[in-house]
A and B are shown apart, each in its own frame.
Chain A
Amino acid sequence: MDYKEIVEAIAESLVTSGSTFRADKVRAYECAIERETDVNARWVLQTILENAIIAGERKSPLCDDTGIPHVLLDVGEDVSVDAGLLRAIEHGVALGLERLPGRPMAVKGEGEDRLGQTLGMYDEPSAVQMAPIALRERRGRGLTAHVLMFGGGPAIRGRSFRVFHKHDAANVERQIVEWAMEACDLLGCTPCTLAIGIGRSHYEAANLMLQAQVDGCYDEQTPLEQRITNAVNEHGKGVMGLGGCTSVLATFAKIGPARASGVRIVCLRPCCCFEPRIASVKLD
């Protein structure tokens, strides 16, 4: 692809990411609706699903918090990444934000003005900068870009922190369940999908949490992921805190390298009812 084609492909992926559910997520919602016994919770699940259908048809935002763009590149053996490619992706993200449209929520100013949000906000959706691009090497050929949109609620309730495993994985699992229950109870927009990265540093764990959202699939849950989901649903407050048995739809966990240590670093993002908002596109 040339520069213009990459820009267009990324822009369209961003719009798809912000406006549609993947097929496995639709199936997960259908299963949850079938299982749910609380009448209000069931109604909200149905409403969320209908919203996704309408947003997909209109190519309009699933949620007014359209999120912060994150891009992960899967780089094949025959691909070289250069500054021109990164510029094209950045350009495509800006174009996609104008088309969706993204919420104009970029804060003006620098340094402390930006921290305190004292100078107001930009009017243009494209002023929202994307997060630093992540990339990983993949066997085989070609280049795939995954575009994800991260909303604010999960960022408030997520965390990255150490866990003393005491040489028993069950201790890590127990701590994750405890954090997830607390997060789900306070997050407004459940059911969650729990995205978890476990690594050796906070940076690595956060990157693995991003990868977990890219690689995760609602149709395929590991025993660990299923146990976490079940444990949170057993004691959780249900859809939007209204009760019922659907605090969590699924868990996507990515366990990275470990160091010889009594500590694991866990990054947990309680993705909201629309997340992961993701679309993938081949750029070759």
Chain B
Amino acid sequence: MSSCSPASGLAPRILRMTGRVCNEAASKQADIMDGDQTLSAKRIIAPVADDTVLRDVRVGDRILVSGIVYAGRDAVLPKVCREFALGAAGLPKVDFHGAALMHTAVSCAGIGPTSSNKAEIEESFGPLLAMGIKVFLGKGALSKATVDALGRFGAIFAVVPPVTALLQDALKESHCLAFPELGMEAFYELHLERCPAVVAAAGGESMFEGL
């Protein structure tokens, strides 16, 4: 086998050292195994019940998100901000208070975070915060203005590793809620179990300072 040929026979060693949820108690803590050490992860059930749930979540915390997570990206989020806020005819009734939203397409290829700093997505944070969304899942550096807005609303932004094959196991159900004409960019409702993420913005602080 040449040095640049496809990998084979490497799985056992890799799998032994990588992250697996090994203990998820009824409490709000779960453990992720990381080689020889155990990493703590906070469990978040979406929608979050009240403002106290996220009060202790800090930048750098690992979280596992379960429950209902809405999904949308560039094409649909401006429509959601405009038309759901207006209660436009034909749209389902959705209570966004305490909700979680992942910036992702939904297709036969699976799910995975898209860059949250693309213009239409980042511009949607303000309106969606005002509608009640508390947990944003995506990737990429956000502006200071967005980080500040998240802080004012007591909301968080967490980075999801772009691991579509693994996220396929976390995705239990999905269905299109609105704007089906947008195909993979339509607005979806997902049911996720233990979607892993790292908190990148909370309480007005972030990992992106200096960018």
Contacts and interface: CB of A to CB of B under 8 A. Distances in A.
B6 to A, nearest CB: 5
A121 B60 contact: no
A188 B116 contact: yes
Contacts of A42: 34
Interface string A1-30: 000000000000000100011111110001
B102 to A, nearest CB: 11
B165 A60 contact: yes
Nearest to B211: A185
Contact of B11 (A53, A156, A217): A53
B66 interface: no
A48 interface: yes
Given A33-B17, A188-B115, A241-B200, A46 B34 contact: yes
B7 A219 contact: no
B183 A120 contact: yes
B7 A186 contact: no
A243 B207 contact: yes
B211 A104 contact: no
A237 B14 contact: no
A266 interface: no
B11 A51 contact: no
29 contacts: A23-B1, A26-B14, A33-B17, A39-B39, A43-B19, A43-B34, A44-B161, A46-B34, A48-B163, A50-B163, A53-B15, A62-B165, A66-B109, A101-B108, A101-B109, A104-B107, A104-B184, A117-B75, A120-B181, A121-B182, A121-B184, A186-B117, A188-B115, A220-B3, A237-B141, A237-B211, A241-B208, A242-B159, A273-B162
B190 to A, nearest CB: 12
Contacts of A43: 19, 32, 34, 39, 62, 198
Contacts of A20: 6-7
A50 B166 contact: yes
A142 interface: no
A26 B110 contact: no
A65 B112 contact: yes
B161 A47 contact: yes
Contacts of A92: none
Interface of B: 1, 3-8, 10-11, 14-15, 17-19, 32, 34-35, 37, 39, 60, 62, 75, 104-105, 107-118, 138-141, 159, 161-166, 168, 181-185, 196, 198, 200, 207-208, 211
A56 to B, nearest CB: 7
Contacts of A186: 117, 140-141, 211
Interface string A216-257: 011110000000000000000100111100000000000000
A105 B4 CA distance: 30
A25 B139 CA distance: 23
B83 to A, nearest CB: 17
Interface string A43-83: 11011111111111110111111100000000000000000
Contact of A104 (B108, B140, B161, B196): B108
A102 interface: yes
A243 B18 CA distance: 19
B31 to A, nearest CB: 12
Interface string A150-164: 001100100000000
A40 B4 contact: no
A88 interface: no
Contacts of B114: 65, 152-153, 188
B141 A103 contact: no
A189 interface: yes
Given A23-B4, A188-B140, A217-B4, A121 B198 contact: no
Given A105-B184, A273-B162, A100 B109 contact: yes
Given A44-B198, A51-B166, A120-B183, A22 B7 contact: yes
Given A188-B139, A240-B161, A64 B6 contact: no
